[in-house]
Each structure stands twice: as structure tokens, then as C-alpha cells.
């Protein structure tokens, strides 16, 4: 089970990097969202996946029983899902506003700070 999830994490991250290398803003944002999901799945997989023992400490014990799943990664993922969703919503609104102002979602056409100069590189000093 953990091996299959590790392969799925690799697929998520590979897809995310492929999408983030695009020149379109929407594809970059989708890559960020897929990468967040891949990292969440990676954290979830690192906490051991077992169904036999719940992650509950007995009243007379101080630690989890051997073989029990760790509850900390599960709690971290719940927080990360909320943060990544709000971050994605913010980026989506920011991209839409940039599209409204500039009329394009191509990153090459959004070069106001670094305009393209056709003179070429300097020939000498």
C-alpha cells in the first residue's frame, strides 16, 4: 500500500513540475495545486498506514502501541489542506486580476518590468 502511494506521490510531483514549467498562468497555478496535494500525500504516507491499531494511547501507557499509525501527520495534513486551498484561491484571484489588466495569461507577454529589447547583447566594452 505504501509503495503504491509513493509511486502516486512521484506522479503527482512530476505532473506538478511539468505544469509549472508552462508559460500559461493557469497551468502554473494547477501545478502548484497538484504539488500541494502530492506533498500532503507524502506527509500522510510517512505516518504509516495501518488499520489494525487506532492512533490512541491507552490510559495506562505513555506512547503509542507498536504498529499503530502516527496521528501527527494526519493532523498536519488537515491544516495543510486548509492553507493550500486558501493559497490557491488567492493565487487564482491574483491571476484573474492580472488577466483583466493585461489581457493575456502568457508569461512572455507580461514583461513590463523587463521589456524585450531587439538590439541584442553588447558587442564590446
53, 85, 119 from 9: Cα distances, Å: 25, 19, 45
pTM for the complete prediction? 0.75
- pLDDT band at residue 96 using 50, 70 and 90 as cut-offs: very high
pLDDT at 14: 97
How does pLDDT run across 23-71, given as a tens digit for each residue?
A: 999 999 999 999 999 999 998 888 777 667 777 788 888 887 887 777 7
| For residues 9-29, average pLDDT | 94
| For residues 83-109, average pLDDT | 90
**From CA 13, how far away is CA 86, in angstroms rounded?**
20
Amino acid at each position: 500500500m505504501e509503495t503504491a502511494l509513493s509511486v502516486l506521490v512521484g506522479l503527482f510531483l512530476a505532473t506538478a513540475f511539468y505544469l509549472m514549467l508552462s508559460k500559461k498562468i493557469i497551468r502554473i497555478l494547477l501545478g502548484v495545486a497538484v504539488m500541494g496535494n502530492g506533498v500532503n500525500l507524502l506527509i500522510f504516507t510517512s505516518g504509516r498506514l495501518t488499520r489494525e491499531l487506532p492512533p490512541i494511547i491507552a490510559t495506562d501507557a505513555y506512547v503509542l502501541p507498536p504498529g499503530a499509525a502516527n496521528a501527527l501527520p494526519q493532523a498536519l495534513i488537515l491544516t495543510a489542506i486548509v492553507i493550500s486551498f486558501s493559497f490557491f484561491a488567492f493565487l487564482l484571484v491574483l491571476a484573474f486580476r492580472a488577466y483583466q489588466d493585461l489581457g493575456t495569461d502568457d508569461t512572455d507577454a507580461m514583461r513590463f518590468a523587463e521589456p524585450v529589447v531587439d538590439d541584442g547583447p553588447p558587442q564590446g566594452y
